[in-house]
Structure 1
Amino acid sequence: MFAVPLTADAELRPLNPWHAEEFLANLDRARENISPWVSPSFVATDLDQARHVLQRYADRWARDDGGIWGIWSGGTLVGGVLLVSLNAELGVCEAGCWLEPAAEGRGLVTRAVSRLIDWVVDERGLHRVEWRVLAGNERSIAVARRLGMRRDGVLREVSPGPHGRVDLEIWSLLAPQWQARRAGTPVD
């Protein structure tokens, strides 16, 4: 097992199907805040569904087309990051996140996604990291900005929402931009 430190009391580590109870408890604490922004299939409401979500990502990891990692703070699962998709042949992936309210405002997601980007760029050799976010999700958009991502565009009214159709913003970061940012080189 591995763990990547994020802060003095927080770490990033794999989130596996055997973590289903912890994952469900985390979703219960986060549900109200994340439900408007993430796929309903992600926000499990019982143990079997939680196990299924985590198994889906374990299967993706085994197929080399995605993965999921948890953020533990003080020994408690408080959120996580994921590769919604990964296409090594095209050199493109989509990253995402979730976090419960009590863990917000500490930079945990930004740090965790940074580690994930380091891995996909340095270890996997991917060229493009995408961040797809429903318009109005200001916290997620702020993460994209902090990571140096650029807004590529908007897919207008791409999916149904509780009050009508909603727009989806596409943000991205290219490997040379990420490498230059880490080196402290100005990025145009």
Structure 2
Amino acid sequence: MFAVTLADDAELRPLEPWQAAEFAAHAERVRRDVIDFIPWARTVVDEASARDFLQRYADKQVRDEGRLYGIWVDGVLEGGTVFRTFDAAQGVCEAGVWLGTGVRGRGLVTTAVRHMIDWAFGVRGMARVEWYCDPRNTASAAVAKRLGMTCEGVHRDAFVLDGERSDEQVWAVLAREWRA
């Protein structure tokens, strides 16, 4: 297992099916903080559903189609990052994040995603890292901007959450921009 230090008290580590009980407890703690924008906040309601969610990402990783990481602060799971999609053949992936309100404002997400982007471009040779967010999620858009991403536009009515359609902002950074 590996861990990437994000701060003196925080680290980024893989989030895997064997951690289902911990993830279920985390989901319960942060549900109100993330439910407006994070689909799993509605579906991860117990250890079994947490294990199913984590297993889907473990299966994606085996197929080289996605990855899931947790952010631990003082040993407590407080958030996470994800390559929701990862298409090595096309050189395009999508990064995503969530974080409980109690540890926001410390740069943990920005630092974690910076490590992910470095890996995607430097190790995996990706050409483009994308970031999708609801335009109302100004905190998410702010992270994309801090990472040097460009807002490329809005997909109207492109995302369904709890039966409601919403718009999606599309942000991206290209490998040549990241290296510069």
| Structure 2 length-normalised TM | 0.95
- RMSD between superposed Cα atoms in Å: 1.6
Residue 80 (structure 1) aligns with? 80
* Distance apart, 1:164 and its partner CA: 5.4
User: What code does the residue aligned with 1:47 have?
Assistant: E
In structure 2, stretches of 5+ residues that fail to align are none
Residues 82 and 162 (structure 1), Cα distance of their counterparts in 2 relative to 1, 3 Å cut: closer
**Aligned mates of 1:161, 1:10 — CA distance in 2:** 30
Deviations 1:11-70 (A, max 9, x none): 111111011111111111111121110224775011100001100000000000001011
**d(CA) in 2 for partners of 1:9 and 1:154?**
36
Contact 2:84-2:96 at 8 Å conserved across structures: yes
Counterpart position of 1:133:
133
Letter in 2 for 1:141: A
Question: Hey, what does 2:123 align to over in structure 1?
Answer: 123
Task: Provide, for residues 102-132 of structure 1, a one-character-per-residue CA deviation record: whole Å limited to 9, x for no partner.
Answer: 1111111000000000110000000100001
Partner AA of 1:177 in structure 2? E
1:7 aligns with 2:7: yes
Does the 8 Å CA contact 2:27/2:41 hold for their aligned counterparts? no
Instruction: Specify the code of the residue in structure 2 equivalent to 1:131.
Output: W
User: Which residue of structure 2 lines up, in the alignment, with residue 22 of structure 1?
Assistant: 22
Secondary structure in structure 1 of the residue aligned to 2:7: coil
Cα distance in 1, alignment partners of residues 95 and 163 from structure 2: 26
Contact 1:35 1:43 in 2 (8 A): no
Q: Which runs of 4+ in 1 moved over 6 A?
A: none
**TM-score, normalized by length of structure 1?**
0.91
Structure 1 distance, partners of 2:14, 2:99, is 16
Q: Which ranges in structure 1 are unaligned for 5 or more consecutive residues?
A: 181-188
**Contact kept? 1:27, 1:100, Cα under 8 Å:** no
Counterparts in 2 of 1:10-89, with a 5 A limit?
Answer: 10-40=10-40, 43-89=43-89
Please list the CA deviations of residues 68-93 of structure 1 after superposition, one character each: whole Å capped at 9, or x if unmatched: 01111101111010000000010000
Task: State whether residues 37 and 134 of structure 1, in contact with CA within 8 Å, keep that contact through their aligned partners in structure 2.
Answer: yes
